Chains A and B, each alone.
Chain A
Amino acid sequence: QSALTQPASMSGSPGQSITISCTGTSSDVGSNNLVSWYQQYPGKAPKLMIYDLSERPSGVSNRFSGSKSGNTASLTISGLQAEDEADYYCCSCAGSPPSYVFGTGTKVTVL
């Protein structure tokens, strides 16, 4: 069970949009819509930002959105803000019985 592949780092200026990719296989990302995304600040526990591919938990800004094409899921952050500077991880359900695999993580820097 290999980790999903994410770019190590991405950056953008305030107000811009960035899209973080999360590439898996037909056994995980490509097989279902059970993809979630997490935001993690240094020294803090992760926070759920997206579940079921594109659903936002209550309280999460609508600047965050999720989508998928084939074996690659994506998280788009619109209207980038300084507070969005953090690490982001994707996660996908894989196989039966279910197991979950996380992505390698992406460090987002707001310029």
Chain B
Amino acid sequence: QVQLQESGPGLVKPSGTLSLTCVVSGGSMSISKWWGWVRQSPGKGLEWIGEISHDGITNYNPSFKSRVTMSLDKSNNQFSLRLTSVTAADTALYYCAKESHSSVDYWGQGTLVTVSS
């Protein structure tokens, strides 16, 4: 059973950089071609941020394209999200995800990131 666990600072200052890591357990990252990030603002809906393939190809939501970078570290079974120039609008619960058949079949529990000074 694949499990995903997000980690990273829960508080980021405005104009700063949000950095999160997702550790994959219960299987190698090679079990899936794509790994992604989805966020959910408080009381709001889901928003796809982007995805990274097991060989490092990335696809990003055009809404984030200039601010987002994803990377992976297969040797440590983890992948990461970096979002620059954050504002209060980036305050959200961030989920890491395993993708399959163009959908998310496994989700992390989510980590709340608040953007505030």
Interface residues of A (CB under 8 A from B): 1, 3, 34, 36, 38, 45-48, 51-52, 55, 57, 89, 91, 93, 97-105
Contact = CB atoms under 8 A, between A and B. Distances in A.
Given A91-B48, A102-B45, 6 more contacts: A36-B102, A93-B102, A99-B61, A100-B48, A100-B102, A102-B38
Contacts of B105: 48, 51, 57
Interface stretch (B13-21, B68-76, B77-85, B107-115): B107-115
Contact of B104 (A34, A38, A55, A99): A38
B95 A89 contact: no
Contact of A45 (B48, B60, B107): B107
A105 B59 contact: no
B96 to A, nearest CB: 10
A46 B63 CA distance: 22
B59 A102 contact: no
Contacts of A1: 61-63
The 8 closest A-B pairs by CB, nearest first: A36-B103, A45-B107, A51-B103, A34-B102, A100-B48, A102-B46, A105-B45, A51-B101
Interface residues of B, number: 21
B66 to A, nearest CB: 14
A36 B38 CA distance: 14
A74 to B, nearest CB: 16
A52 B45 CA distance: 21
A104 B43 CA distance: 11
Contacts of A101: 48
Contacts of A47: 107
B59 A97 contact: yes
B46 A51 contact: no
A1 B63 CA distance: 7
B104 A36 contact: yes
Contact of B46 (A46, A93, A97): A46
A15 to B, nearest CB: 29
B102 A99 contact: no
A45 B102 contact: no
A103 B45 CA distance: 8
